[in-house]
Amino acid sequence: MIDRLHHALGWLLERAVGLLALVMLVLALAQVGLRYLFAAPLLWVEEVSVMALIWAAWLGAVLLWLRAGHIAVDLVPKLLGPGAERALAHLMDLAAMVGGVALVWVNAQTITVFGGMEMGSLEITASLKYYPITAGGAGLALAAALNMARRWRGRPGAGGGAP
């Protein structure tokens, strides 16, 4: 069950980040084409592109933690024995879970503060820019929990901590 959830989350995140990259590419090409060929730029493209980039960054961070693809200094874990290395990986996942939950908690206040403001050309609430942080925090906590559970079960290549 845990392995299937781990795989499904990775599959979903890969596609979401890829789709967001495609959206950003299409928007950039449309903006350049309309601006230079027809002198008619779209005013909302930059704001939508920034929101897509923020979503891609947070979802990508969750994917990297899930797959242990993040940048890590592995000098200390390599000096430790396998048991200590495993304990350190558990500690790093625990820190990621606490950090993810803290992001969700603190960001709820940020969303409330920006709820009364509008984004320039879109005329929608500026708090929408902060929802990816909530999703990223929750996703990070979930990814760390899945990695920790897989490591407890002795799965080879279970992510978390230093790769």
> Residue 153, SS3?
coil
How far CA 151 is from CA of 37, 49, 86, 143, in Å, comes to 55, 37, 8, 12
96-108 pLDDT, tens per residue? Answer: 999 999 999 999 9
pLDDT in 10s for each residue of the chain, 163 residues: 899 999 999 999 999 999 999 999 999 999 999 999 999 988 899 999 999 999 999 999 999 999 988 887 878 877 888 888 888 899 999 999 999 999 999 999 999 998 888 888 888 888 899 999 999 999 999 999 999 999 998 865 555 444 3
Q: How many CB atoms lie within 10 A of CB 89?
A: 21
Q: What is the pTM of this model?
A: 0.86
Q: What is the pLDDT of residue 132?
A: 96
**Number of structural domains found in the chain:** 1
Q: Is residue 158 part of a domain?
A: no
If residue 46 lies in a helix (H) or strand (E), which one and from where to where? helix 45-67
Residue ranges making up the domain that contains 96? 2-152
Q: Is residue 34 part of a domain?
A: yes
Q: How many CB atoms lie within 10 A of CB 102?
A: 12
